[in-house]
């Protein structure tokens, strides 16, 4: 089914969706606009996509990670049953995980129009480049913006979009030649320096390192890979010695970990996270098969803090893996892990037909994995919506770039 064969009113709905989704992509990656502004575009894009999705529902194709995403959302929805909070409050908490059911809707509509895919990707890349230049200006004192330190976003979100931007730049540089290759290679280097020595996000450090290692493994032969890894280790060591901000941040992190492990001193950002993770594991061990339910996370954490079982009161344990363990027990943890594995596995399968698309999926799986270890990637607003944009685009390309003899698997058999 193509746009040309759809009713006129649905074609107008697709145009409205395209405008809002492209704007949404630029807004999210540029970081210049408030949350409510970006939320308007995302909501409108979803609403305009819905009628098209339902019109095509009997022939909708779901890829591996979309299927796992829907299964995970179904389990979280089921956990409402054993949540002690009210139904409305539980559904409010459930909405934090809406990405899992919105993703297939957006990807289905994006798959209808390659031009929309291209414009969306371009808008996201332009937005990320603007965020990069803005961060350099803030870091070097070229300009000052109220409320911003080294980037417009917080350092966690900045590291997330920069590592994704780095992945895109590396892949474009590999797949192109001449001036274009050189330009994107330079931008990739600017991203690496920005994350390591302009911003101060520790997760960003790890994401950049793992993106570069993943790219090297997927790109170079064994001999070249060895040289690339050796060069990366030397470069990392040189960066540690040469970049004061990076050097100080790494030393501070190691000292804080040592204080937490040796002296049980949790009064640092690292200590807080380790304490959160320990508390989350204890709750998960108490509710291994079901979790506390999607609506009871905040209440459970608060209750344990009041009884002294938890030393730090929080409503966010700053790890998506730990969030899933608390909310839905081991089943939710396994489903979330399966979601990431399915993204990467889809990439390995797709490499046979489209190397860049396969590597992009593998790279995104790595970025999500590293991010979810130390941050609430799905629960947090910024990462969740940036991820929604990227995965929707990649899922759409899985459909449009599939081989001609590809056997479709639909939600229902066609008449």
pLDDT tens for 184-227 read 999 999 999 999 989 888 899 999 999 999 999 999 887 777 87
pLDDT(261) > 90: no
| pLDDT score for 256 | 82
- Cα distance between residue 195 and residue 37, in whole Å: 26
Q: How far is CA 171 from CA 41, 216, 268, in A?
A: 28, 11, 37
At 149, the pLDDT band (50, 70, 90 cuts) reads confident
At 252, the pLDDT band (50, 70, 90 cuts) reads confident
What DSSP letter does each residue of 364-405 carry, written as one string?
A: HHHHHHHHHHHS-TTTSHHHHHHHHHHHHHHHHHHHHTS-TT
| pLDDT score for 383 | 94
| pLDDT score for 1 | 64
Tokens 């009064």 belong to which residue?
Answer: 267
Mean pLDDT of 155-161: 93
pLDDT(406) > 60: no
At 404, the pLDDT band (50, 70, 90 cuts) reads low
pLDDT(408) > 50: no
Q: Where are the domains of the chain?
A: 66-96+144-400
pTM (2 d.p.): 0.92
| pLDDT score for 409 | 45
Query: Percentage of the chain with pLDDT > 90?
Result: 66
Residue 101: CA atoms inside 13 Å, Cβ hemisphere, count?
13
| pLDDT score for 370 | 96
Tokens 């009113």 belong to which residue?
Answer: 9
The chain-wide mean pLDDT, for the chain, equals 90
- Cα distance between residue 262 and residue 271, in whole Å: 11
Q: Give residue-wise pLDDT tens across range 235-246.
A: 778 777 777 777
Q: What is the DSSP letter of 61?
A: B
pLDDT(413) > 70: no
């Amino acid at each position: 089914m193509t746009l040309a064969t759809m009713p006129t009113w649905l074609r107008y709905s697709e145009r409205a969706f395209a405008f809002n989704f492209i704007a949404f992509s630029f807004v999210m990656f540029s970081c210049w606009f408030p949350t409510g502004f970006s939320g308007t575009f995302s909501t409108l894009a979803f609403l305009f996509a819905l009628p098209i999705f339902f019109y095509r529902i009997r022939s909708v194709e779901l890829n591996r990670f979309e299927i796992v995403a829907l299964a995970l959302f179904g389990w979280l929805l089921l956990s409402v049953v054993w949540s002690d909070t009210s139904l409305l409050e539980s559904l409010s908490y459930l909405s934090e995980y809406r990405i899992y059911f919105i993703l297939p809707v957006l990807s289905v509509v994006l798959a209808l129009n390659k031009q929309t895919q291209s414009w969306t990707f371009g808008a996201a890349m332009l937005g990320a480049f603007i965020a990069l230049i803005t961060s350099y200006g803030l870091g070097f004192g070229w300009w000052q913006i109220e409320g911003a330190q080294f980037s417009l976003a917080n350092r966690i979100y900045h590291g997330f979009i920069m590592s994704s931007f780095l992945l895109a730049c590396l892949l474009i540089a590999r797949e192109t030649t001449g001036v274009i290759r050189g330009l994107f290679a330079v931008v990739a280097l600017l991203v690496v320096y920005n994350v390591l020595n302009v911003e101060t996000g520790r997760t960003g450090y790890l994401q950049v390192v793992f993106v570069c290692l993943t790219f090297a493994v997927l790109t170079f032969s064994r001999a070249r890979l060895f040289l690339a890894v050796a060069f990366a280790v030397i470069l990392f060591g040189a960066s540690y010695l040469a970049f004061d901000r990076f050097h100080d941040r790494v030393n501070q992190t190691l000292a804080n970990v040592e204080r937490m492990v040796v002296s049980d001193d949790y009064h640092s950002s690292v200590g807080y996270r380790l304490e959160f993770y320990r508390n989350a594991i204890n709750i998960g061990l108490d509710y291994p098969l079901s979790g506390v339910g999607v609506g009871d996370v905040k209440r459970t954490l608060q209750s344990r803090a009041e009884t002294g079982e938890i030393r730090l009161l929080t409503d966010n344990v700053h790890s998506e893996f730990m969030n899933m363990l608390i909310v839905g027990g081991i089943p939710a943890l396994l489903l979330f892990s399966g979601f990431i594995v399915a993204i990467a596995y889809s990439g390995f399968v797709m490499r046979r037909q489209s190397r860049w698309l396969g590597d992009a999926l593998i790279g995104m799986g790595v970025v999500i994995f590293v991010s979810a270890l130390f941050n609430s990637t799905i629960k947090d607003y910024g990462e969740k919506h940036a991820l929604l944009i990227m995965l929707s685009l990649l899922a759409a390309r899985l459909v449009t770039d599939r081989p001609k003899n590809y056997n479709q698997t639909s939600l229902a058999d066609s008449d």
